Amino acid sequence: MSISKSGANIENLIDKAESGKDLRREDIIGLLKLPADFSPDLFAAADRVRHEQVGDEIYLRGIIEFSNYCERNCLYCGLRKSNSNLSRYRMTEDEIIATAQQIKKTGVPTVVLQSGEDSFYSQDIVCRLIERIRKETDLIITLSIGERALNDYKAFQQAGANRYLLKHETASRELYKYLRPGCDWENRLQSLRLLKALGFETGTGNMVGLPGQTPEILADDLLVMKLLDADMLGIGPFIAHPDTPLAGIENDELEITMRVLAVARLITRNTNIPATTALATIHPQGRLLALQAGANVVMPDFTPEIYKSRYDIYPGRKDVGSAEEIISRLEKDFQTIGRTINYGTGHRQIKK
Ligand code: SAM
Ligand code: SF4
């Protein structure tokens, strides 16, 4: 369908997306470029599909950002190797286990272990950590530690990791190459395919508002998410960090990020889609708005206070307080939109 200015055509397109019919690239571009008046209709359609496919309850994943060392130099990220203003840390194994135990105490059933690409954490070290967390807390484990070798992925899975988050970041090979010096888009995609084939619940996703990004590239991002049949989709606004080469770029990206998220829900149906911390960072209501436009997951940050501010990917992150305080704040926020927390594991759900 070509997008005309006619309201009827736009409504047809939103209806087509809501009904689950396959959308062509032009349809997706059309949804991303909708006149502003139609945004509420798009978000409401995504909200209905979220309700029908994954229910009303919100699933939590507790994040531990255990190392801010990184060997990469991504132009957008405050953890990049060349950022000499950052005070680096690595949590000890015991600190990580103690934090996982706090997450377990709050009732949150899954932990996301996140870090820069840090080869200090050899295959053996990561496996030992996974085994200890499984044994001492029984939490479901998601890794978000960047690209590793196939052998590593296999070993991590054998040790007990269940999920892996590796955002493709952007579907544009050129932009990817520019933003991630020395990295190759095809390798990233190959890792994602391997993870999926190994049986990991696999997460991908992108940043919205990158310099040089167009609605066409965003449509390709959405097609990558669909083609990979990813189980989780992390979609967040790019936020410029002052100590990176992309310092100073404005980030008024709430509306377009929510559109990408809403279309992701419409085309992937039953995936787990977090209302990202980055959305909560650029707008006080960002998290709740995303939860009403297709999102069904929240990933609170349980990194100990002494390290949290040093995991400085981008400025303005706010999840402060003890694990209990964070959960109780979320519960209250969710109540304001009539939603509650589900303390289940939140595996990708099959339509009821
Ligand atoms: N190092 C691993 C990796 O890159 O996959 C995991 C940690 S990395 C900090 C986690 C995510 O942070 C990336 O996938 C990227 O999308 C996001 N990120 C990094 N810099 C960002 C920025 N300036 N604004 C928004 N998101 C950012
Ligand atoms: Fe490192 Fe990940 Fe940041 Fe890139 S995005 S610099 S790989 S932590």
Measuring from each residue's beta carbon to the nearest atom of ligand 1, which residues come in under 6 Å? 76-77, 79, 114, 116-117, 144, 146, 166-167, 169, 207, 236, 238-239, 241, 278, 313-314
280 and 287 Cβ atoms separated by less than 8 Å: yes
Q: How far is the CA of 3 from the centre of ligand 2 (A)?
A: 38
323 and 102 Cβ atoms separated by less than 8 Å: yes
For residue 3, the model assigns a pLDDT of 47
Q: Whose CA is nearest to atom 26 of ligand 1?
A: 238
Residue 350 has pLDDT above 80, yes or no: no
Mutate to test the pocket of ligand 1, among 167, 170, 206 (most ligand atoms within 8 A of CB): 167
Q: Whose CA is nearest to atom 5 of ligand 2?
A: 77
Residue 1 has pLDDT above 50, yes or no: no
Measuring from each residue's beta carbon to the nearest atom of ligand 2, which residues come in under 6 Å? 70, 72, 74, 77, 79-80, 116-117, 146
Residue 176 has pLDDT above 70, yes or no: yes
**What percent of the chain has a predicted confidence (pLDDT) above 70?**
97
Retrieve residue 68's tokens: 């801010």
Q: How far is the CA of 9 from the centre of ligand 1 (A)?
A: 37
Residue 6 has pLDDT above 80, yes or no: no
Q: Whose CA is nearest to atom 19 of ligand 1?
A: 77
Number of other CB atoms surrounding residue 178 within 10 Å: 14
By the 10 Å C-beta count (0-12 exposed, 13-18 middle, 19+ buried), 215 is classed as: middle
Retrieve residue 204's tokens: 């991908």
Distance CA 325, CA 279 (A): 20
- Segment of 113-127, 250-264, 321-335 carrying the highest mean pLDDT: 113-127
Mutate to test the pocket of ligand 2, among 81, 117, 313 (most ligand atoms within 8 A of CB): 117
For residue 252, the model assigns a pLDDT of 79
pLDDT digits over 89-144, tens only? 999 999 999 999 999 999 999 999 999 999 999 999 999 999 999 999 999 999 99
Res. 2 pLDDT band, cuts 50 70 90: very low
pLDDT digits over 15-64, tens only? 999 999 999 999 999 999 999 999 999 999 999 999 999 999 999 999 99
Q: Whose CA is nearest to atom 8 of ligand 2?
A: 116
Q: How far is the CA of 77 from the centre of ligand 1 (A)?
A: 6
Atom of ligand 1 nearest to the CA of 79: 9
Give me the mean pLDDT over the 279-288 stretch: 94
Strand 62-67, strand 58-60: pairing? unpaired
For residue 349, the model assigns a pLDDT of 63
Res. 263 pLDDT band, cuts 50 70 90: very high
Residue 340 has pLDDT above 60, yes or no: yes
pTM of the model: 0.96
Q: Phi and psi for 308 in degrees, rounded to 5?
A: -50, -50
Q: How far is the CA of 27 from the centre of ligand 2 (A)?
A: 32
SS3 state of residue 169: strand
For residue 348, the model assigns a pLDDT of 79
Q: Whose CA is nearest to atom 25 of ligand 1?
A: 238
For residue 347, the model assigns a pLDDT of 83
Residue 234 has pLDDT above 60, yes or no: yes
For residue 352, the model assigns a pLDDT of 38
